[in-house]
Amino acid sequence: MIDFIRGQIAECNPTAVVVETSGGVGYMISIALTTYSQIKDQTQTQLYVHEAIREDAYQLYGFTDRGEREFFRMLISVSGIGANTARMILSAHPAAELQRAIADSNINLLKGIKGIGLKTAQRIVVELKDKLGKMDLADNLLPRADNTVRDEALSALVMLGFAKAAAQKVVDRITSDNAGLKVEEVIKLALKML
């Protein structure tokens, strides 16, 4: 089992990073926006890994700290939450904010996330409220300005599984109404609107 991967960042976008190890192997690792925010300007990184092995796929999910990986694992333990949905949840809000929402039974924040309905939000709170008392997650979102904010945000939404036409309309509306937003902010707003 892989615990972490350390190496040079060969490629990085809001949904995935390719980390090249010293042996010359490049690992494609799916990431959430919070992880992207922390590693996007780096040339080297170490990501803690969760392996999702299925009949038809072998997928790696990466996190900058063990606490966020543990929270991800708690999310996928909830009935109806798969790895991609958990990644979407972590992309919509920082882990510390989600932890507070679950501890406070803030169902509205959870059901505001794309793909999370009322029953799923309630299940998350019921199943994770007690477990989260043991965790300590930090809120480390580091936004930056970028000339290609629209393109990066659109690319990330398409990689997350949204239809390009719908995502493009939402991203165009957000960027025209709010000049100067960071790519992470555009994606978060878009996730709430799609």
**Per-residue pLDDT of the chain in tens (194 residues, 90 and over written 9):** 899 999 999 999 999 999 999 888 999 999 999 899 999 999 999 999 999 988 898 999 999 988 899 999 999 999 889 999 999 999 998 888 898 889 888 999 998 898 899 999 999 999 998 877 555 443 333 333 333 688 888 888 888 888 888 888 888 888 877 777 888 888 988 888 88
Give the integer Cα–Cα distance in Å for 10 and 153: 20
Q: Which CATH superfamily is domain 4-63 in?
A: Nucleic acid-binding proteins (2.40.50.140)
> Which part of the chain is CATH 2.40.50.140?
4-63
Calculate helix-pair angle for 149-159, 164-177, nearest 10 degrees.
Answer: 150
Asked: is 149-193 a CATH 1.10.8.10 domain? The reply is yes
> Rounded to whole angstroms, what are the CA distances from 52 to 80, 116, 154, 158, 186?
16, 21, 26, 21, 28
**Distance in angstroms (rounded) separating the CA atoms of residues 48 and 185:** 24
Start-end of CATH 1.10.8.10 domains in the chain = 149-193
Asked whether 168 and 134 are in contact (CB, 8 A), the reply is no
The tokens 């998350």 sit on which residue?
124
What's the CATH number of domain 66-134, 1.10.3720.10, 3.90.1150.10, 1.10.150.20, 1.10.15.40?
1.10.150.20
User: 154 near 189, Cβ under 8 Å?
Assistant: no
Parts of the chain belonging to CATH 1.10.150.20: 66-134
What pLDDT is stored for residue 154 in this prediction? Answer: 84
